[in-house]
Structure formats: C-alpha cells, structure tokens
Structure 1
Amino acid sequence: MRFLFVMFIGLPILEMWLLIKVGTVIGAFPTIAMVATTAVIGAALLKQQGIDTLTRAQQRLNSGQVPATEILEGLMLAVGGALLLTPGFVTDAIGFVCLIAPLRRLLIAALIKRGVMQVQMNQFHGGDSPFGAANQEFGAGPSSQVHNASSEGKGGENVIIEGEYKKEE
C-alpha cells in the first residue's frame, strides 16, 4: 500500500517540484527540450534493446530452451519505455536504468533477490514440469524422469521402459 502511495502521489509531486526547480534555473524552454529529448532517445534505445532481446529469445526458443531471462528483460523494457514517455527527470532516470542492458540485468537480479519478482525455476530444473530443465530441448522432460523410468534388471544392467501416455482429465 505504501509503495502505491509513493508511486501515484509522491512521484508526480517530486517530478513537478524538480521540473519547476530546473525550469527556474535554466528556463522553461530548455527544460521542455530536455524532457522531449530524453523521450526521443529513450524510444530509440527501447527499439534497439527490444529487438536485441527478441532476437535472443527467438534464438533460445529455436535451440529448445526456455527464454526466462528474456521474458523478464522484456517486462523491464516495457516498464522503462513507459517511464521514459512520462514527463520528468526521476522517471527518465529509472526508465534509462531499465533500458541499459547491464543496469537492467543488475536490477532484475536485485529484484529477484529481494523477492519483488519471484521466478519459480523449480519447474524447469527437474520439477514436475513436462518441459524439463531450461537448457533441455522441449519434450526431453526433466532429468529426474529418466532416472525414475529406469530400473535395474537381471545382472545389474539398466532397463529403460519406453512408451507413450495420454493424460485424461
């Protein structure tokens, strides 16, 4: 609740105060020009970073991997783009942090560490997911399935039972 209050009440007040302060020091027209310039630069950076992230996601999908990092980066790019279109210097600074790749990755790591963004990678690392590990091909299944499906036969050799199943609901 406190975060939402700061986000929707405190941040706009801070932005207005900062715009007025900068406007009194350098003038209204240069202040407006700075805000417009950051929006244009941000849009160009968003386009470039978005294409790079989409290309990496496509490469991971083509190699049979789950593009979890790229999905989070795409989310941060959307947030950064929205913040850069919002007039103000504080939102522009936060928006550029979301758009600059090394800073974005540090921010994602920090948010995951604090628990703000929770990623359940257990699904992709040998959990009950049919997709298996994030670096396995689709349909390969989790590595624990191979171990569970094999059993020792006579003479100590491993016997792997192959088959198909259909889950009925």
Structure 2
Amino acid sequence: MRFLLLLFIVMPIAEISLLLQVGDLIGGWNTVGLIIVTAFVGAYLVRQEGISTLQTAQAKLAQNQVPGTEMLEGMLLVIAGVLLVTPGFITDILGFTFALPWSRKWIATRAAKHLTVHTVNATQQTSYQHSRQPGAGHDGDTFEGEYTDNTQNDPNNRLN
C-alpha cells in the first residue's frame, strides 16, 4: 500500500519535472507534439502486438495447450496501452518496454517462473429424469424419459 501511495506521489512529480526539462531543451510545442506522437505510435504498436499475441494464444488453444505466457503478455500489453496514452516520458519508456516483443516476452517468461497455476480436470456425470403428470400441459400428454451422460465412455470425446 505504501508503494502505491509513493508511486502516485513521486511519479507525477518526476513526469512533470522531466516534461519541463524537455520543454526547456526543445520547446513547449515540440514537447507536446512528441507526447502526441509517442501516444499514436504506442497505440499502433500495442494494437499490432495484441493481434499477434491473440493469434498465438488461439493457435495454442487449438493444440489443447494452455496459453499462459500469452495471457501474461496480453496483460502487459494492456498495461503498456495505458502507460503509452498517459502523457509523460517515463510512462512512455515503461509502456514501450512492455509493448516491444522481445522485452515483453522476456518479462512474461520471468514472471511466469514465479507463478503457480493449479488446474482441475473434473469429469461430470449427469443423470436427469423428468416426468410430467397428465393435465400438467396444455394437451394432457405425458412425456417420460431418462437421460444419462455417457461422454466419459465415448473415445471420440475431446474432453477426456
């Protein structure tokens, strides 16, 4: 909690001071233009990398593999998008670090080493019985039936 409080106090002060220094060096309008350009370039990069990461995740899912690294990369791309649209050079540097493919993959694989995922594979056996009393429906017909889920005995079932 203290870290977040410190981050929300120190980060804007650092961004403002850096913006003022860059503004003194290259001019105020040039600084504003540079911030706008980095936002557009960053949004384009995040979009392209997001599509690529989504396609990779879908390919892994098609092969019945868990796209864990791709999910982490997607999370980093969301953070990168927020950072790149936020005005400032420090946030832009962090955003581009999370958006560029080689650094994002490195960060995601390092983070994946520290995460533990537990999966549960449960089979479901369902038994369903239904009967309707005469007169309960509009036409008075009685429907009786029994239903049993035999998917776990089916060798063609993809869930097994």
TM-score under structure 2 length normalisation: 0.72
Q: Structure 2 matches for 1:72-151, cutoff 5 A?
A: 72-112=72-112, 118-121=114-117, 123=118, 129-130=120-121
Matched residue, 2:17: 17
Q: Deviations over 1:41-66 (max 9, x none)?
A: 00110110000000001101111111
* TM-superposed deviation, 1:111: 3.9
Matched residue, 2:60: 60
Q: State the alpha-carbon separation in 1 of the partners of residues 42 and 31 from structure 2.
A: 17
* TM-superposed deviation, 1:40: 0.5
Q: Deviations over 1:128-165 (max 9, x none)?
A: x218xxxxxxx8xxxxxxxxxxxxxxxxxxxxxxx66x
* TM-superposed deviation, 1:101: 1.0
**Structure 1: runs of 5+ lacking an equivalent:** 132-138, 140-162, 165-169
Q: Calculate the aligned-residue CA RMSD, in Å.
A: 1.9
**Structure 2: runs of 5+ lacking an equivalent:** 124-151, 154-160
The AA in structure 2 aligned to 1:120 is: T
Q: State the alpha-carbon separation in 2 of the partners of residues 44 and 96 from structure 1.
A: 11
Q: Measured at CA, do residues 85 and 10 of structure 1 come closer, stay the same or move farther in structure 2, by a change above 3 Å?
A: same
Matched residue, 1:8: 8
Q: How many residues are aligned here?
A: 125
Tell me, yes or no, if the aligned pair for 2:38 and 2:84 is still in contact at 8 Å. yes
Q: Deviations over 1:5-38 (max 9, x none)?
A: 2321111110000001110111001000110010
TM-score under structure 1 length normalisation: 0.68
SS class of match (1:78): helix
Matched residue, 2:126: none
Q: State the alpha-carbon separation in 2 of the partners of residues 45 and 33 from structure 1.
A: 18
* TM-superposed deviation, 1:120: 1.5
Q: Deviations over 1:84-105 (max 9, x none)?
A: 0000000000000000011012
Q: Which has the larger radius of gyration?
A: 2
